[in-house]
Structure formats: structure tokens, C-alpha cells
């Protein structure tokens, strides 16, 4: 508590220079957008322009999204580690209640920080309230909560320049439907930002990301060279797994300390440049290659003795080094050259890291926020022009970046995955899903790479990646690949089975302390043919505990929560649903709740399928998202026609007797479920069943 108290005092000092204006009252209106008109407003010492008290409606509980009080935390740095901290009983001071070590991951810290980027409340009226601070132009806003529980909305530019004009401060929306509340708030934000970002549904998802990939980081870390990467590519080919893209992560740069000196790779470890690796490209094997880079060149920017020639005129001081940002035009020149170098080498996409650090390192600028906006926009423009397979935004959770994905369709939503770190694995799972509610409106939520050979959670991680709908990439040593956990992710050619929208928490899991409550964390995703996937998790920590939960037909209605455009909750079909327990290989009609027991760190994947004329189609038994493998279903009272995207074992449910298929015998799975063991083979397959 001493650390929390100290930081709260610092937060108060941080805001003391801000102009105090009239309170913002969230009243009876269903939604609203608060804007401020500034007239040569000068920021205080910490770059704060304005502070307004926020009067909230009475609430039962809430999720306040911010970072943790880790030893390295300094707002807004590490905003990429945004996590939900919980409040209850209409008292925001419970954010700092002792003990509040909600998150077991040490990199998050042991308590919430005062600043928040987003908040969601369940009001005593029964409605849900979404609060969204904004970033536009040279200013950004955020929430701040005092130790006494007073909430303010703060506006700043993290610089020294005066600000004039009308700027957005806060958007909010209320609705009895939690997911509609989120959509309504985002609609206000997207409309106000005028092209700065866009709905996920309006973006082009990269073709490469539709396939299974591999990344060098977790296997090699920074210890890479040309020979190691070429050998890894050969081993991936030899594995027989349909891995179609290869991402080179950190460790290849020409640098001094942690500052970049050249766009060329290190000549000592890459004596022939990228040619040996990119020569491994094959149309039916590893088809696409990606390259990791840091937002501002490298972790500490660009070294003063560099190979960038005329670009140096566009750099400004960045700590002891340099960085982009002298002008909007100069920033675009840097990113055109930066991303252009990656394209000229022959890479197809980039992964850009460290996007929220820049604010803290810039000194003596008019507006650090404006420079970040220039950088984000210039990066988006350069990638759009030169990278045919786009960009993975990595650690992009600073507000200017979250609200700046003009073209990019993929962003990280969590802390890193790490092998053999049980606490971090649990935090990673919760954060990936819950932050999808916020970021997943404009991007597909990247859950990071994983090891299929992870002894604690190889299959669990594979399933979470499957229902994310985002890129899925392994990072095992290729000789350690666990085929049985990988092959259910993709077809024979490596194309992933993907949900219609990202997986996200059910309402009872959004504001739940999953580590201490003894309750299951439950998530859902919509699948093809009006099916849904629900995954239940036991994230209790530390230690093992058996948790009982259940899945009911009413849960199915929420499957559309992240669908775009949002048309409201799904209706339960008139004939009902069936529930198939993927790991058990059995199920039943969902006419009463289906019980689930979870012991220790574990999950359970349940597939819900609608009943039509006495039939239900679960789909390909050998895939996690079985229904996605079914292209179409035609059901009459006596027959069922199923068109599969790829031939494989088919599971269906019949209300009235054993079904028959010509030339293939039926395996009785019990309770009306039947499996037909069609051979696994590429190419579409249409079959007809009769009673």
C-alpha cells in the first residue's frame, strides 16, 4: 500500500497544473461525446491541459482498464499491458483496496495504477456503461482515479506547446445489452476520428495471416543468424506441417547498444544479407516472410552515427539518441524509407513493436501526442503502400496507436506468451479475451505466438488462438512441434479455420476476478452455419482448485456480441441446440445446462450447433472449430446434405434414429451423435445422409 499511496500522491501532483473545469455528468442520455474548446491553453509541467471531474451513475461493478504498478511503470509507458481492474458497490476507491494482487503475472505489478484508458460498468439501473477517452491530433485524454475514488477525465499533450481549437475528450454509451453499449461508444469514436481508424469489418485481412505461421522469438530470442534461420526453415519443411509464413523477430539489426544504425542486417551474422533465407520461399511451403522492427528504429531509437544520410534532418532528440518526429512530412519520409527497406529486401509483412514508449522519451517538444500521431499515421501509410501482407501491431496499446489503425487489421491485445510460466499463461489468457472487447472493434486480436510443446498449456493455447480469429504462429523449436495440437488448427494446406468474429468473454466473465473467485472464465465466438464455440477456463491462482461451471442455451444468444455490424443477440433456434464436448467426443441436446468440471489450469471447448428438421451438424471432428469446416447444410425431415470444405471425420446429431451414408459406416457416439470417418484429404466433399 505504501507504493500505491506514493504513486497516487505523484498522480495528484501530476494533475495539479491542470485547469479544473465543470464536471461531466453521465445522466439519462443513452450516449454522448464531450468536446472541449481550448484557447491557447498551456500545459502544466507534465503536459496536462485540462481535468474534469466525472460523475458516474450508480454501479454494481466495473472493469477499469489500465496498467499495473510495476517497478518500471510510468504513464503512459507500458500501456500495452492494459488489464481490467475491478471496482464494485459504486465505490471507485475499491480499485486500490488491500490486498489487490488480482493479476498473478509479476510484469503487471501488484495493484492498479490511477490512469485508465477505457472503462466498462454494470449500473444499478441494469444498463451497461462504456467510457472511452480519445486521442486526436495533438491531444489525448485518459481517466484518473484518486485514492478517495474521485474519477476525473484528463486531457494532455505530454509537451510544452499551447493548444487551441475544439478537441474530443470522452465518449460514452449506455445500453441494457453490454455488447451494444460497446458498439455504440465505438461508433461515436470512429465518427469523431474521421478516418483515423475504422471498424474491423471494413478492413482487409492479410491473406498470409489466414494461414499457419512460425516466429523465431520464443525459440531463439535474439540469438539468431542467417544459418540458424535457414536451418529452422528447413526443419519446418521437414516437419510436414503446413506452416506457410515465417517471421524473423529481434536480433538481426546493425546497432550500437539498443539504437539502430542501419536498415541492413548485421553483416557479421548475416554476411549474405537476407538472400539465403528468402531463397527458401516456396509457393506450397513457406510462401510469406515477415520482419520484426521497433516503432522508432530500435528500442532506444536511432544512433547518431548512422547510415541514414539525408533522413537525419528529419530526426529529433530521443534520449541520448535520435528518433523521427521533426515534422509530419519528415516522419513520413522516415517510415517510407524504413518500411521500404523491408519491402526492397523481399519481405511480405512487418511486425512493429514498442509503440507506446515514445511519449516518455521525448523532451522539449510542443506535443508528444502529435508526434505519435504523425508516426502512427506515417507507419500505416507506408505499410499500406509497400507491404502486400500488411502489419501486426505489437504492443500497440497506447491510445494514439489504438485509435490510429487506419488500415492495419491486426493488433496484439495482451502481454507476451512465455514458455514454462504458469502465472503469465493465466494472465495472458484473461487479458487476451477481455481486451478484445476494447481493441477488437477495429482489429483482429493477436494472442501472440505459442509453443505447441508447452507441457502446461500447449493444447489450451492452441484453442485460444483458434477462437481469436487472428494470426496463429508457433515458436517451438521445429523439432519439438506437437502435431496433435497443431493440426486441428488448419486444413491440409495450412489455411486456418477461423470464427466469424473474435472470441470474447461472456457477460458474467467480464468483471470477474478469475484468479481468486473460484469461478470459471467463459468465452464465446460465433462460427459458420449459426454455430458457436464456448471455452471455459480454470484460471485460479496460485495452486490448483476444482471449479464447477455450466453452459446453457441462453449463453448462445451472446455469440453475436463482437459481430459487425451488430444486429443484436442471436435467437435460440425453435428446435433447440446440441452441445458437443470437443475433447470428450460426446455431448447431448442442450435442453438443460451442460455441466463442466475444471481441475487446475485447464479448459473445455464446447461446440453449440442449431437443430434443423431433427438434424444438427457439428462438423469436422479433427478440427477445434469443427463447424467452420462445413460450407453448407441442407436438412429435410428424412435427409441431410453436408458440403465440407475439406474431407475428414464428420460428426452430426440425429433426433430420430441412426443415419446412413453410402459407403461409410456410422460410429455411435451416444445421445444422438454419430461420426462418419471420411478420409482426411484436401478438396471439397459433399455427402448425403438418410434416416
Question: Considering only CA atoms, which of 107, 109, 106 is closest in space to residue 85?
Answer: 109
pLDDT at 275: 98
Q: What is the pLDDT of residues 616-633, one digit of tens each?
A: 999 999 999 999 999 999
Report d(CA 515, CA 422) in Å as an integer.
12
Residue indicated by cell numbers 543468424: 225
Across 431-501, the runs of DSSP E, i.e. the strands, are: 444-446, 473-474
Decide: 60 and 122 in contact? Cβ < 8 Å. yes
Across 106-150, the runs of DSSP E, i.e. the strands, are: 115-116, 118-123, 128-133, 135-136, 139-145
pLDDT at 103: 55
Question: Considering only CA atoms, which of 634, 677, 607 is closest in space to residue 463?
Answer: 607
Q: What is the mean pLDDT of the chain?
A: 92
Name the pairing type of β-strands 288-294 and 349-353. Answer: parallel
Residues of the chain scoring pLDDT < 50? 1-19, 71, 99-101, 106-109
Decide: 65 and 118 in contact? Cβ < 8 Å. yes
Q: What is the pLDDT of residues 394-446, one digit of tens each?
A: 986 789 999 999 999 999 998 889 998 898 899 899 999 999 999 999 999 99
pLDDT at 94: 87
pTM as predicted: 0.95
pLDDT at 356: 80
What are the chain's domains?
2-194 (no CATH), 202-489 (3.20.20.70), 504-690 (2.60.40.1180)
Q: Which helix (H) or strand (E) holds 42?
A: none
Q: What is the pLDDT of residues 31-59, one digit of tens each?
A: 999 999 999 999 998 899 999 999 999 99
Report d(CA 5, CA 7) in Å as an integer.
5
Question: Considering only CA atoms, which of 457, 431, 425 is closest in space to residue 446?
Answer: 431
Question: Considering only CA atoms, which of 529, 488, 468 is closest in space to residue 621?
Answer: 488
DSSP secondary structure string for all residues of 271-322: TTTTHHHHTT--TTSS-EEEEEEETTBSTT-B-SS-S-GGGGGGEEEETTEE
3-state secondary structure of 141: strand
Residue indicated by cell numbers 489487490: 100
Question: Considering only CA atoms, which of 113, 119, 77, 107 is closest in space to residue 95?
Answer: 113
Residue indicated by cell numbers 497544473: 17
Report d(CA 522, CA 467) in Å as an integer.
13
Amino acid at each position: 500500500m505504501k507504493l500505491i499511496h506514493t504513486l497516487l500522491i505523484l498522480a495528484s501532483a501530476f494533475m495539479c497544473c491542470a485547469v479544473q473545469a465543470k464536471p461531466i455528468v453521465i445522466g439519462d442520455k443513452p450516449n454522448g461525446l464531450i468536446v472541449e474548446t481550448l484557447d491557447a491553453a498551456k500545459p502544466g509541467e507534465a503536459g496536462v491541459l485540462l481535468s474534469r471531474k466525472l460523475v458516474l451513475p450508480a454501479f454494481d461493478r466495473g472493469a477499469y482498464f489500465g496498467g499495473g504498478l510495476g517497478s518500471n511503470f510510468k504513464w503512459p509507458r507500458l500501456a500495452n499491458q492494459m488489464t481490467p481492474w475491478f471496482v464494485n458497490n459504486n465505490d471507485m476507491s475499491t480499485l486500490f483496496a488491500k490486498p489487490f494482487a488480482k493479476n498473478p503475472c509479476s510484469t503487471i505489478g501488484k495493484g492498479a495504477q490511477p490512469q485508465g484508458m477505457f472503462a466498462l460498468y454494470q449500473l444499478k439501473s441494469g444498463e451497461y456503461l462504456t467510457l472511452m477517452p480519445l486521442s486526436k491530433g495533438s491531444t489525448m485524454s485518459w481517466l484518473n482515479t484518486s485514492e478517495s475514488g474521485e474519477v476525473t477525465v484528463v486531457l494532455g499533450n505530454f509537451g510544452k506547446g499551447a493548444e487551441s481549437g475544439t478537441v474530443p475528450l470522452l465518449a460514452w454509451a449506455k445500453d441494457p445489452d453490454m455488447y451494444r453499449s460497446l458498439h455504440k461508444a465505438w461508433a461515436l469514436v470512429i465518427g469523431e476520428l474521421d478516418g483515423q481508424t475504422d471498424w474491423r469489418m471494413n478492413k482487409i485481412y492479410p491473406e498470409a495471416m489466414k494461414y499457419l505461421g512460425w516466429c523465431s522469438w520464443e525459440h531463439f530470442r535474439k540469438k539468431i543468424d542467417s544459418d540458424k534461420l535457414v536451418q529452422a526453415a528447413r526443419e519446418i519443411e521437414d516437419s510436414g506441417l503446413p506452416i506457410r509464413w515465417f517471421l524473423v523477430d529481434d536480433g538481426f539489426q546493425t546497432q550500437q547498444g539498443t539504437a539502430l544504425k542501419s536498415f541492413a542486417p548485421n553483416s557479421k551474422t548475416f554476411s549474405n544479407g537476407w538472400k539465403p533465407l528468402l531463397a527458401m520461399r516456396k509457393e506450397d511451403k513457406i510462401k510469406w516472410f515477415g520482419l520484426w522492427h521497433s516503432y522508432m528504429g530500435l528500442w532506444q531509437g536511432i544512433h547518431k552515427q548512422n547510415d541514414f544520410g539525408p533522413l537525419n534532418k528529419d530526426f529529433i532528440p530521443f534520449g541520448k539518441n535520435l528518433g523521427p518526429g521533426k515534422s509530419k512530412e519528415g516522419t513520413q519520409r522516415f517510415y517510407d524509407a524504413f518500411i521500404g527497406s523491408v519491402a526492397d529486401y523481399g519481405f511480405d509483412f512487418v511486425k512493429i513493436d514498442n509503440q507506446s514508449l515514445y511519449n516518455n522519451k521525448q523532451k522539449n517538444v510542443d506535443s508528444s501526442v502529435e508526434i505519435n500521431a504523425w508516426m502512427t499515421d506515417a507507419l500505416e501509410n507506408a505499410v499500406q503502400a509497400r507491404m502486400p501482407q500488411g502489419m501486426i501491431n505489437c504492443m500497440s496499446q497506447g491510445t494514439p496507436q489504438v485509435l490510429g489503425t487506419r488500415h492495419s487489421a491486426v493488433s496484439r491485445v495482451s502481454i507476451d506468451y512465455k514458455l514454462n510460466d504458469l502465472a503469465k499463461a493465466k494472465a495472458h489468457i484473461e487479458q487476451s479475451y477481455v481486451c478484445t472487447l476494447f481493441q477488437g472493434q477495429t482489429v483482429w486480436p493477436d494472442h501472440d505466438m505459442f509453443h505447441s510443446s508447452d507441457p502446461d498449456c500447449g493444447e489450451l493455447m492452441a484453442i485460444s488462438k483458434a477462437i481469436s480469429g487472428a494470426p496463429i504462429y508457433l515458436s517451438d523449436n521445429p523439432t519439438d512441434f506437437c502435431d496433435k495440437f497443431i493440426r486441428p488448427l488448419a486444413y491440409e494446406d495450412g489455411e486456418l479455420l477461423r470464427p466469424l468474429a473474435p472470441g470474447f468473454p461472456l457477460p458474467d466473465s467480464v468483471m470477474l476476478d478469475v484468479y481468486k473467485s473460484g469461478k470459471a472464465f467463459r468465452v464465446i465466438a460465433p462460427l459458420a452455419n449459426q454455430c458457436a464455440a464456448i471455452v471455459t477456463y480454470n484460471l485460479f491462482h496460485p495452486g490448483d482448485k476444482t471449479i464447477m461451471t455450466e453452459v446453457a442455451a441462453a449463453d448462445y444468444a451472446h455469440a453475436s456480441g463482437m459481430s459487425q455490424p451488430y444486429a443484436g443477440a442471436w435467437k435460440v433456434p425453435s428446435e433447440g441446440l446440441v452441445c458437443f464436448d470437443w475433447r470428450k467426443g460426446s455431448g447431448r441436446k442442450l435442453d438443460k445446462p451442460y455441466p463442466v468440471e475444471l481441475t487446475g489450469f485447464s479448459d473445455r471447448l464446447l461446440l453449440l450447433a442449431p437443430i434443423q428438421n431433427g438434424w444438427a451438424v457439428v462438423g469436422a471432428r479433427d478440427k477445434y472449430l469443427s463447424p467452420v469446416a462445413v460450407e453448407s447444410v441442407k436438412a429435410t425431415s428424412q435427409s441431410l446434405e453436408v458440403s465440407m470444405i475439406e474431407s475428414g471425420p464428420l460428426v452430426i446429431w440425429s433426433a430420430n434414429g441412426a443415419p446412413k451414408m453410402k459407403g461409410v459406416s456410422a460410429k455411435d457416439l451416444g445421445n444422438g451423435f454419430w461420426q462418419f470417418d471420411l478420409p482426411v484429404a484436401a478438396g471439397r466433399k459433399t455427402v448425403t445422409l438418410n434416416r
